Chains A and B, each alone.
Chain A
Amino acid sequence: MATTVVHGVPTTAAPPQTRVYRGIWSWVTTVDHKRIGVLYGVTAFAFFLIGGVEALLIRTQLAVPGNRLIHPETYNQLFTMHGTTMIFLVVMPLSVAFFNIVVPLQIGARDVAFPRLNALSYWIFVTGGIFLNAGWLLGASPNAGWFSYANLTERAYNPGPNQDFWTLGLLVLGTASMAGAFNFIVTIVNMRAPGMSLMRMPVFTWMTFVTSFLIIFAFPIITVALIQLLFDRHFGTNFFNAAAGIDGDTLLWQHLFWLFGHPEVYILILPAMGIVSEILPVFARKPLFGYAVVVYSGIAIAFVSFGVWAHHMFTTGLGPVANAVFLTTTMAVAVPTGVKIFNWIATLWGGSLRFSVPMMYAIAFVSMFTIGGLSGVSHAVVPSDFQQQDSYYIVAHFHYVLFGGAIMGLFGGIYYWWPKVTGRLLDEKIGALQFWVMLIGFNLAFGPMHFLGMNGMPRRIFTYPEGMGWDLWNMVATIGAYLMGFGVLLLIHNAAVSLRRGQPASGDPWDGRTLEWAIPSPPPVYNFATIPVVHGRDAWWLMKHPHRSEREGTTDTDRVDVQLGGRHLGVVETPDDPSRESPAAYEDAHHLGIHLPDGSWFPVITAFGLTFFAAGLIFGWWLTGLGALMMIFGIYAWCYEPING
């Protein structure tokens, strides 16, 4: 076989970047997706620790009956903020961290479609997250549950600023999520390497794509609900005012919230499912079983997720017809989910399994999520749900899917992609210990909650009396929670050890299948010296083993037709393995003729402006005015800023 190399032909040398920032300012002004991903990951992890402390306080309070450690009002704030933090400030941003770091690399791109918009998303996340937590400083954190049912949230029943932190905080954070989702939709549609059709994309990229659509269609609904609540609280409207003579319907809140809320839980789980779909094939040394089915199932889950929301409202008296409809749709959404489980199991079947830490987490996802899914299906059965609603059985269910599922999957992603980002491996021994401590702790914490729920323990109670039969399992759950905390500390320890003296990682430490493993670790700032040409699924695996391809039709031929934008451009020879190119190939972007955008101040200025604008409702209109000026300045300066990239 003749060795052939694909060259990009630089036309003229790229102009050097005109605005180069150093040190911390380079991080503040960065528009590089890899750095933004790291920022997201670190910030999300910090919020994870905060949410974890909130959880430990809750569990400590509940460890024994009749406990008076925590005041009931504080307790309400703790469980509200624990849920709100974990959902909006941890799981979502951790997923976005991976979207940022991994997706452009997997599709062979140099960055996302809108780098400054990407930075804006991050900075709104930071400022919004801090604002959301600012209530703690006033002793007035949100206190009505993460779902904030009306009309407990109305001014009459909740006069302090607590719920304003929640409403405004989520309005601000929502814009960050939407901006990110728009960015990834355009990136995935428009910036794929030549030859990478949609059905050749890695499954993680597919799940990012589907999740982004869920975000752009679900978040506007909660935006409207939040605006309506805000107006009720501050401008005298009656959206959820059930007073006589007004006759508003508090159930309207629940409908609007869950119309968002149910797609939201799929937003939380699909990225982790994508991660699992990446890890299992690599560590089983087998392609994903039924790639197309897994992709279509993800799409089906997204569609159906918009049709199940009222299963959160079975006990509100919707009537038998509505209940029956939503029972059916909820059962239906379990089907594509189950299909994925079987595809993952089939991927492992007959594979040559390596139980590295990412693999352990992926397998934990499949098993723990299945348990959570089973309890979920039991909720779908309406009469059964009449018993389960508002009990600890529900708490058990969603922690099995969100921690046993999403967090386990995301932690697997941390172990899997850590070498790519940092250039070092995490320690396998510490990692294995950390994994088992977390898994055992998790099951000790949440397994017994099924029993507590079945034995009648309600949610959101700050204490319980002796003699209910709940004492033992509450104590066990608390011990499990502390064990989980220890597991998290072990992860931090592993990270610190790795960064200090971890074993250096090559570009492809796991013998991976997808394009992010085709470049050095950590990647050069421009990702790919030459944009790769893709021949099939598992593009990197194909490049490594061109004659052992199991993909569509490229076994003997080293040639591929290249289509771009619907136009046939010509025929290209198989490229050499890019990671075996000489180090000289990875010179700086300037000499390679690669344009890189400069950093920019305007995303961070605009982000602060938006948060100040919102915060002014609580802290004073002067702040709103200042925020508005900053936003207007930030946006206009951004529009007229030369990009040079």
Chain B
Amino acid sequence: MATHQELEPGGHAHPGAKEYVAVAVVLAFLTSIEVAVYYIDYVRPWLAHMLLVLSAAKFFLVAAFFMHLKFDNRLFSSLFVGGLILAISLGISLLALFHNLFV
């Protein structure tokens, strides 16, 4: 049968080992920032916001590069992001209903 196609419609060249290692280094760096910020009393009022931003960045990097979404057909991203947005919206609504929504 047809040989395996690495490129799907809408996809183009993907990263190699070097790029993956670079992403992993960034992820490790972001994680260390998260932990450092946890211990810095000075930024405590902003801790939640900073952590959310940092973890969102990590989430994006894994999804876009390791899971290849940046280079794949946009249908996959739509599917996944759709589920993600629904989950986040319902979560926030529930927190509001239980009066436990902070910020």
Asked if B97 and A322 sit within 8 Å, CB to CB, the answer is yes
Supposing A217-B83, A565-B9 touch, asked if A249 and B98 sit within 8 A by C-beta, the answer is yes
Contact at B94–A217, with CB atoms within 8 Å? no
Nearest CB to that of A255 among chain B residues?
B94
- Docked-complex contact A310 and B97, CB < 8 angstroms: yes
A217 touches B86 (CB 8 A): yes
- Is there a chain B Cβ closer than 8 Å to A583's Cβ? no
Residues of chain B within 8 A of A567, CB atoms compared: 9
A565-B9, A566-B9 are contacts. A318–B97 as well, Cβ < 8 Å?
Answer: yes
Contacts of A322 in B (CB 8 A): 97
In the complex, chain A residues whose CB is within 8 Å of the CB of B94: 255, 259
Closest to B89 in A: A306
- List of B residues within 8 angstroms of A310 by Cβ: 97
Within 8 Å CB of A217, what residues of B?
83, 86
Q: List A259-291 residues whose CB lies under 8 Å from chain B.
A: 259
Interface string of A153-189 (1 = CB under 8 A from B): 0000000000000000000000000000000000001
Across the interface, do B9 and A306 meet the contact criterion of CB distance under 8 Å?
A: no
User: What is the bound-complex CA distance between A252 and B86, given in angstroms?
Assistant: 19
Q: Is the CB of A566 within 8 A of B90?
A: no
Proximity string of chain B (10-30) to chain A, C-beta cutoff 8 Å, 1 when within and 0 when not: 100000000000000000000
Per DSSP, chain B at the interface is helix
Nearest A-chain residue to B90, judged by Cβ:
A259
Residues 62-103 of B at the A interface (beta carbon under 8 Å): 75, 83, 86, 89-90, 94, 97-98
Taken together as a complex, chains A and B put the C-alpha atoms of A63 and B28 apart, in Å, by 70
B11–chain A nearest beta-carbon distance, Å: 11
Nearest to B97 among chain A residues (CB) is A322
Residues of A within 8 A of B98 (CB): 249, 252
Contact present for A255 and B86 (CB under 8 Å) = no
- Tell me which of B75, B90, B97 contacts A306 (CB under 8 A): B90
Count of residues in A whose CB is under 8 Å from the partner chain: 14
Q: Is the CB of B10 within 8 A of A306?
A: no
The number of chain B residues touching the other chain, given as a range, is 10 to 19
- Chain A residue at minimum C-beta to C-beta distance from B10: A566
Most A Cβ at <10 Å: residue of B9, B75, B97: B97
User: Which residues of the other chain, B, contact A259 by a CB distance below 8 angstroms?
Assistant: 90, 94
Complex: A306 Cα to B94 Cα, angstroms: 12
| Contact residues in A for B83 (Cβ distance below 8 Å) | 217
1/0 per position for A241-254, CB-CB distance to B under 8 A? 00000000100100
A566 / chain B contacts, CB cutoff of 8 Å: 9-10
- Chain A residues near B75: list those with CB within 8 A: 189
Chain B residues whose CB sits within 8 angstroms of the CB of A306 once the complex forms: 86, 89-90
Question: Which A204-260 residues have a C-beta within 8 angstroms of B?
Answer: 217, 221, 249, 252, 255, 259
Q: How far is the CA of A306 from the CA of B93 in the complex (A)?
A: 11
Bound Cα distance from A565 to B9, whole angstroms: 7
Instruction: Give the residue name and chain of the B residue nearest to A322 (CB).
Output: B97
Q: CB-nearest residue of chain B relative to A318?
A: B97
Question: Could you tell me the distance in whole angstroms from the C-beta of B47 to the nearest C-beta in chain A?
Answer: 26
Query: Which residues of chain B come closer than 8 Å to A249, judged between CB atoms?
Result: 98
A318–B83 Cα gap in the complex (Å)? 27
A217 to B82, CA, bound (A): 10
Which residue of chain A lies nearest to B96 when distances are taken between CB atoms in the complex? Answer: A322
Contact with B along A438-478 (1 / 0, CB 8 A): 00000000000000000000000000000000000000000
- Cα separation A111 to B86 with both chains bound (whole Å): 31
Beta-carbon nearest neighbor of A185 in chain B: B79
Give A299-323 as 1s and 0s: 1 = Cβ < 8 Å from B's Cβ atoms.
0000000100010000000100010
Contact call B97/A255, Cβ cutoff below 8 A: yes
Residues of A within 8 A of B89 (CB): 306
The answer for the CA separation of A306 and B75 in the assembled complex, in Å, is 22
Distance of A255 Cα from B97 Cα, bound (Å)? 9
- The distance from the CB of A209 to the nearest CB of chain B, in whole angstroms, is 13
CB-based nearest B residue for A189: B75
Q: Compute how far the CA of A306 lies from the CA of B90 in the bound complex, rounded to whole angstroms.
A: 8
Contacts of A318 in B (CB 8 A): 97
Residues of chain B contacted by A252 (CB below 8 angstroms)? 98
CB under 8 Å from chain B, chain A span 566-609? 566-567
| Residue in chain A with minimal CB distance to B94 | A255
Tell me the nearest residue of chain B to A303, going by C-beta: B86
Question: How many angstroms between the C-alpha atoms of A249 and B94 in the bound complex?
Answer: 13
Docked complex Cα distance between A394 and B53 (Å): 46
Q: In whole angstroms, what is the CA distance A221 to B98 when docked?
A: 17
Distance (Å) between the CB of A244 and the closest chain B CB? Answer: 19
Nearest A-chain residue to B9, judged by Cβ = A566
Contacts of B90 in A (CB 8 A): 221, 259, 306
A259 to B83 alpha-carbon distance, docked (Å):
14
> Which residue, A249, A306, A318, has most C-beta atoms of chain B within 10 A?
A306
Chain A residue, CB-CB nearest to B75: A189
Measured in the bound complex, the distance between the Cα atoms of B101 and A322 in whole Å is: 14
Distance in angstroms from A371 CB to nearest chain B CB is: 31
From B79, which residue of chain A is reached at the shortest CB distance?
A185
A256's nearest neighbour on chain B, judged by CB, is: B94
> How far apart sit A252 and B97, CA to CA, in the bound complex (Å)?
10
A127–B72 Cα distance when bound, in Å, is 39
A565 to B73, CA, bound (A): 11
* Bound Cα distance from A255 to B99, whole angstroms: 14
How far apart are the CA atoms of A310 and B94 in the complex, in Å? 10
Q: How far is the CB of A306 from chain B (nearest CB, A)?
A: 7
- Give bound CA distance, A582 to B89, whole Å: 57
Chain B residues within 8 Å of A255, by CB: 94, 97
What's the nearest-Cβ distance from chain B to residue A213, in Å? 8
CB distance from B26 to the nearest CB of A (A): 31
- The 4 closest A-B CB pairs, nearest first, are A566-B9, A565-B9, A217-B86, A322-B97
20 contacts between A and B (CB under 8 A): A189-B75, A217-B83, A217-B86, A221-B90, A249-B98, A252-B98, A255-B94, A255-B97, A259-B90, A259-B94, A306-B86, A306-B89, A306-B90, A310-B97, A318-B97, A322-B97, A565-B9, A566-B9, A566-B10, A567-B9
Residue numbers of B with Cβ under 8 A of A are 9-10, 75, 83, 86, 89-90, 94, 97-98
Instruction: Supply 13 further A-B pairs (C-beta < 8 A) apart from A322-B97, A566-B10, A567-B9.
Output: A189-B75, A217-B83, A217-B86, A221-B90, A255-B97, A259-B90, A259-B94, A306-B86, A306-B90, A310-B97, A318-B97, A565-B9, A566-B9
Residues of A within 8 A of B (CB): 189, 217, 221, 249, 252, 255, 259, 306, 310, 318, 322, 565-567
